[in-house]
């Protein structure tokens, strides 16, 4: 075998196996790759929103004189200005701001759960996971209220192009602006809300596994880290939805 090419077996080579170039486990890497694809999906939603919005005329006058019309795109702070139990009080973006704080806080408790997991602190993981789940449920409840308010509409409704009065919104027509406005509201916040829902389900599963000691017997709490990545991503998406749908 004098003439054959000898392959140098170098233990340090990346291609020989047995090394971890990313120093991350399989599950964590796959979660990251899934999150990239999910980020593309949400980007497509938000960019499509931007495109459809800018192919409609904007409202030209002062914000105070704004009224709903199907001719131009509505100003978001004039649409989302209600809060539960405060009927008729104009509170632009206050309720959606509270929702944002709830989601950020539940992200914080998630990091604290991951931190407790690193220390093998089962009680800590349980405590912070349950707070995270409560935060998620609170956010979803707020969103349910906002959806129902959006669908029911305001007291006065608004006049459509054919002269009839319409209250609230559905997928085909709405009192706030062009039909696509409500369609995008339902699709973007709905898709995000479904992510929150599945995040709560996964968090609950991991909480259960921690509670009965499965993760402790496994010797590490990496599952908390993985579900944490997903939960932070849901928060991250909301930060973008908040800016591009509600603020701008």
Partner 1 sequence: MEPELSSIVPQPPDKSKIWIIWKVAIILGIVTGLEFVVALQLPENFSAFKIWIFIGMTFIKAGYIIGEFMHLAHEQKTLMWTIMIPTVFVLWLIAALFIQADSIYNAIY
Tokens of 204: 């609950």
Q: Which residues contact residue 83 at a Cβ distance below 8 angstroms, ignoring those fewer than 6 apart?
A: 89, 91, 94, 95
23: contact with partner 1 by CB under 8 A? yes
Q: Which residues contact residue 50 at a Cβ distance below 8 angstroms, ignoring those fewer than 6 apart?
A: 244
Strand partners for 58: 73
Do the Cβ atoms of 125 and 189 come closer than 8 Å? no
CA distance 197 to 190: 10
30: contact with partner 1 by CB under 8 A? no
Q: Which is nearer to partner 1, 101 or 152 (CB)?
A: 101
Residue 36 CB, shortest distance to partner 1, in Å, is 6
CA atoms within 13 A on the CB side of 88: 2
Identify the CA nearest to 38 among candidates 247, 240, 244: 240
Q: Which stretch binds partner 1 (CB under 8 A): 98-106, 154-162, 176-184, 197-205?
A: 98-106
Q: Which one of 13, 43, 141, 148 is in contact with partner 1 (CB under 8 A)?
A: 43
Q: Which stretch binds partner 1 (CB under 8 A): 28-36, 142-150, 172-180, 185-193?
A: 28-36
φ and ψ at 246, to 5 degrees?
Answer: -100, -35
171: contact with partner 1 by CB under 8 A? no
115: contact with partner 1 by CB under 8 A? yes
CA distance 223 to 116: 13
Q: Which one of 116, 129, 210, 223 is in contact with partner 1 (CB under 8 A)?
A: 116
Please give the residues from 61 up to 80 whose contact with partner 1 meets the rule CB under 8 A: 62-63, 77
In the complex, the residues that contact partner 1 under the rule CB under 8 A are 21-24, 29, 32, 36, 39-40, 43-44, 47-48, 50-52, 54-55, 57, 62-63, 77, 92-93, 97, 100-101, 104-105, 107-108, 110-112, 115-116, 119-124, 213, 216-217, 219, 228-229, 232-233, 235-236, 239-240, 243-244, 247-248
């Amino acid at each position: 075998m004098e003439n054959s090419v000898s392959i140098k077996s170098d233990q340090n080579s990346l291609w020989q196996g047995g090394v971890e170039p990313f120093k991350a486990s399989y599950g964590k890497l796959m979660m990251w790759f899934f999150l990239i694809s999910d980020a593309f999906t949400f980007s497509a939603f938000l960019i499509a929103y931007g495109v459809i919005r800018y192919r409609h005329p904007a409202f030209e006058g002062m914000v105070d004189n704004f009224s709903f019309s199907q001719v131009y795109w509505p100003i978001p702070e004039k649409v989302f200005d209600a809060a539960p139990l405060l009927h008729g009080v104009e509170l632009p973006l206050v309720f959606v701001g509270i929702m944002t704080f709830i989601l950020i806080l539940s992200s914080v408790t998630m990091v604290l759960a991951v931190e407790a997991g690193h220390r093998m602190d089962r009680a800590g993981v349980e405590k912070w996971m349950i707070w995270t789940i409560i935060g998620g449920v609170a956010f979803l409840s707020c969103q349910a209220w906002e959806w129902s308010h959006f669908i029911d509409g305001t007291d006065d409704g608004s006049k459509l192009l054919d002269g009839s009065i319409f209250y609230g919104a559905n997928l085909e027509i709405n009192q706030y602006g062009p039909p696509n406005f409500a369609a995008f509201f339902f699709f973007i916040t709905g898709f995000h809300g479904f992510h929150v829902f599945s995040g709560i389900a996964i968090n609950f599963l991991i909480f259960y596994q921690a509670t009965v000691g499965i993760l402790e017997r496994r010797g590490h709490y990496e599952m908390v880290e993985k579900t944490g990545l997903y939960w932070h991503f849901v928060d991250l998406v909301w930060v973008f939805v908040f800016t591009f749908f509600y603020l701008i």
